[in-house]
Structures are given as C-alpha cells and as structure tokens.
Structure 1
Amino acid sequence: MANPYQKYKQTSVLSASREQILLMLYEGAIKFTKLAIQGAEQKKVADRSHNLMRAFDIIAELNATLDHKVGGELAQQLEQLYVYMMERYTQANLKGDPEPLRENLKILENLYDGWKLAVEKLKKESEQKGGAA
C-alpha cells in the first residue's frame, strides 16, 4: 500500500482542475530545474541529468498538449518558447553548464507567475458569476 503522502498527492492530482494541473506542472519544472542547477554547480552529473530530464519531460508534455486551434498565436508563441527551452536543457546536459538552466528557470518562473494570475482572475470571475445567480 502507498504511504499516506503518496496517496494524498495522487488524490490531489486526480481531483485538480486543468488550471491547477498546469500550475503543478510548472511547479514541478521549476523544482527540477533548481535541482539540476544544484547538480551542475556541484558537478554531480547524475543529479544534474536526472533532474534536468524530469524538467525537460514536463516541458515536452506542456508542448505536446498545446491546442493550436483554441490558443492561436499564444499557443504558437508558447510552442516556440518550449522548443527553445528544451534546446537549452539539452545544451546544459551536454556541457554540464548551469547557465542555460538558470535561463530556463527565469522563463519558467515568469510563465508560472503569469499563469497563476490568469487562473486567479478566472477563479474570481467564476465566483462572481456563481454568486450572482
């Protein structure tokens, strides 16, 4: 049987809205990028590579789930950004250089902040509509 924390994490993911899942994915990418930076700075190749690949996989998943029909130009711009970030992860992994990781971290934090504000605004608008009914 899974430990209580694992069960809680699984339940929170299964019951999360699409918006919450998006934020969780960004949080994971930020966390793994920070750990990869640590690994690169400490010359711990296995730690750097493992965490870098986890962040890379999250960005690849975000890229794969873009809906270009609904998202239009925004989806196209995000795709270009995600592809760029995946290239930077690859460069960081090949060279062991933490600088591309730091660059990706800044991008991720900016995207996360933007999405978080958008989700909060959406939630507030939804609550106002619900309260008016």
Structure 2
Amino acid sequence: MNNPQQAYANNSVNTASPGELTLMLYNGCIKFIRYAERAMADNNIEQKNLNIQKAQAIVRELSVTLKTDTDVAKNMLLLYEYLHERLVEANVKNDPAILKEVEEFVTEFRDTWKQVIQENRRMQQIGAGGRV
C-alpha cells in the first residue's frame, strides 16, 4: 500500500531547488532537536539519542555540501562544526540547555536562509521583467 504523505514528501524533495533543500535541512534539524528535547524531558534516552543523531547527520550534510570558496562559507563551516560538537555534548551530558543553544543557531540560520531565497526570487522576477 502506498503512503500518500511519503509520496508527497519524496516529490517535494525531488522537485526542490538547492536553496529549498537547504531550507528543508534546517527545518528537519530543528524538528529533531525539539523531539530530542521532549525525549530528554521524558527521560527517554533512546529517543533522545536517536533524534540528536538525526540532527547531527543533518549538520554533517550541511557541512559537506557547503561550498567553501568564500570567507562567509568558511565561517559557516566552523559554525557547523561547533554545532555538531555541541550536539554530541548535549547527548553525552543529557543537557537541554545545549540543545536549546543549538536550536537557536539553526533557527537563525534557517530564517536568514529563507530571506535569501525570497530575495533571490524577487530578483529573478525583476530580471524576468515581472513586477515586485
């Protein structure tokens, strides 16, 4: 039996632009951090560990797909490495404050990235002779 939600999710990923994929990664990372926070509060070590590992995998993916040809990108790489280390520390120490710190960074990155996508779309419309 086919799962329509899974089909929709797969289609969304397959048709997304690289910028939209990055936005999806940020959103996924935030989601898994929040799941880990809940699991930590419920003392569910297995779910906490699983969700932190998922967030770590996303941060690694963001790191390896980053083009480090600018100073900004090189700084982002350092930030991603820091966030990965903090996620490991949050998991080992069972520390929700560290998870909150990482969530705040990722949320800021996501919000900034969303603005970049919106500005790029606006500029494309202008370039195509559209109105803004």
TM-score range, shorter chain: over 0.9
TM-superposed CA distance for 1:12, in Å, is 0.9
Q: CA RMSD in A?
A: 1.0
In structure 1, C-alpha distance between the alignment counterparts of 2:118 and 2:111, rounded to whole Å: 11
TM-superposed CA distance for 1:2, in Å, is 3.1
In structure 1, the partner of 2:18 is 18
In structure 2, C-alpha distance between the alignment counterparts of 1:47 and 1:96, rounded to whole Å: 12
Matches within 5 A, 1:1-133: 1-69=1-69, 72-131=70-129
What runs of 5+ residues in structure 1 fail to find an aligned partner?
A: none
TM-superposed CA distance for 1:16, in Å, is 0.5
Q: Which runs of 4+ in 1 moved over 2 A?
A: none
Aligned AA (1:123): R
TM-superposed CA distance for 1:131, in Å, is 2.3
Identity of aligned residues (%): 32
Question: What number of residue pairs does the alignment pair up?
Answer: 130
In structure 1, C-alpha distance between the alignment counterparts of 2:50 and 2:2, rounded to whole Å: 23
In structure 2, C-alpha distance between the alignment counterparts of 1:67 and 1:102, rounded to whole Å: 27
Aligned AA (2:29): A
Which digits, 9 at most, give the CA deviation of each residue in 1:8-38, with x for residues without a partner?
Answer: 1101110001111010000000000111111
